[in-house]
Amino acid sequence: MAKKIDRYTYRVTWSEEDQEYVGLCVEFPSMSWLEKTQEKALVGIRKLVADTVADLKKNKESVPEPISTRPFSGKFMVRVPPEVHRMLTIRAAESGVSLNRLVSSKLS
């Protein structure tokens, strides 16, 4: 079974400002790890997350749940101005699809 930290959402990207790769973890947005290579940045951020999770557990603090293990319903509400709602409804009708299908296709 994979360790829980392996289920977090990691990203490595180039930082022009630092002239290094930066390792990031979505569930821990305040943390980052800089290294000269992508591989080392990933190893660094994963170790930092593991250490942080261990500290949180030791201090009986809540540990963020990995996004990958959260249940999603597939539903969310978006508020738009009435004129946007009207325009999208017209486009959906003209395309012969539901408003939901039109918006879903635009988001994907």
Is residue 23 helix, strand or coil?
Answer: strand
Mean pLDDT by 10 residues, the chain (108 residues): 76 98 97 98 97 96 94 93 96 95 94
Q: What's the pLDDT score for residue 19?
A: 98
Looking at the fold, whether 60 and 91 belong to one and the same domain comes out as no
Which structural domain, as residue segments, surrounds residue 91?
72-107
Looking at the fold, whether 12 and 61 belong to one and the same domain comes out as yes
Q: What's the pLDDT score for residue 21?
A: 98
Q: What's the pLDDT score for residue 1?
A: 39
Looking at the fold, whether 91 and 47 belong to one and the same domain comes out as no
Residue written as token pair 């999770």: 53
Looking at the fold, whether 29 and 82 belong to one and the same domain comes out as no
What CATH number does residue 57 fall under?
A: 3.30.160
Q: What's the pLDDT score for residue 79?
A: 95
Looking at the fold, whether 57 and 94 belong to one and the same domain comes out as no
Is pTM beyond 0.85 here?
no
Number of domains the chain contains:
2
Looking at the fold, whether 15 and 38 belong to one and the same domain comes out as yes
Looking at the fold, whether 86 and 62 belong to one and the same domain comes out as no
Looking at the fold, whether 35 and 86 belong to one and the same domain comes out as no
